[in-house]
Amino acid sequence: MNLLNVHIMKKVNKILPVLILLVSMTAFLEAQTKKEVNSKVVSVMLQKDPGLVVLDVRTADEFKEGHIKGAINIDIRREDAFVSIDKLNRNVPYIVYCRTNHRSGMAVEHMMKSGFRKVYQMMDGFPGWVENNFPVQK
C-alpha cells in the first residue's frame, strides 16, 4: 500500500464508527412514532386492532365518571405516574388521552423519551369521544 492509501484507511477507520452510530440512531428514531389523532380515528382504530392499548391519564375520579372501554388509568399528576408508565410494554401501540390533551401530551412526551415504539395522542380528548357519541364505560 502506498502512503496515500494508508492515510485514507486511517481516516475511514476513524469515521466508520461514527457513521455506524448515526445510522443506528436514525433507525431507532424511525422505529418510534408519535401521531396525533382525533376520537373518530381512534374509534376506527380500536375496531380494526384489538391489540391497541388505551391509556387514560386523567384523575381516578374523572376515570370513574366515564372512560373508553378497556382503558388503563394512570393519573399523570400522581408522583409515581411516570414510574407506572415505565412498567408498561414499550412494544405495543398506545392511544393516550385526557380531557384537553395537556396531560396526555406530558405522558406521550415521556413515553417517546422512554422508548415506546408507537404512541397515538387523541387530541380532542375524552370530551371529543363523548361528543361523537362513542361508547363510554363507567
Which residue's C-alpha cell is 396525533?
Answer: 36
**Which of 39, 38, 36 has the alpha carbon at shortest distance from 136?**
39
Cell matching residue 137: 364505560
pLDDT in tens, the chain (138 residues): 566 555 555 665 665 454 454 444 444 444 567 899 999 999 999 999 989 999 999 999 999 999 999 999 999 999 999 999 999 999 999 999 999 999 999 999 999 999 999 999 999 999 999 999 999 999
Answer for the pair 105, 125: CB distance below 8 angstroms, yes or no. Answer: no
Answer for the pair 34, 110: CB distance below 8 angstroms, yes or no. Answer: no
The CATH code that applies to domain 32-131 is 3.40.250.10
Report if pTM > 0.85: no
Which sequence spans correspond to the domains of the chain?
Answer: 1-31, 32-131
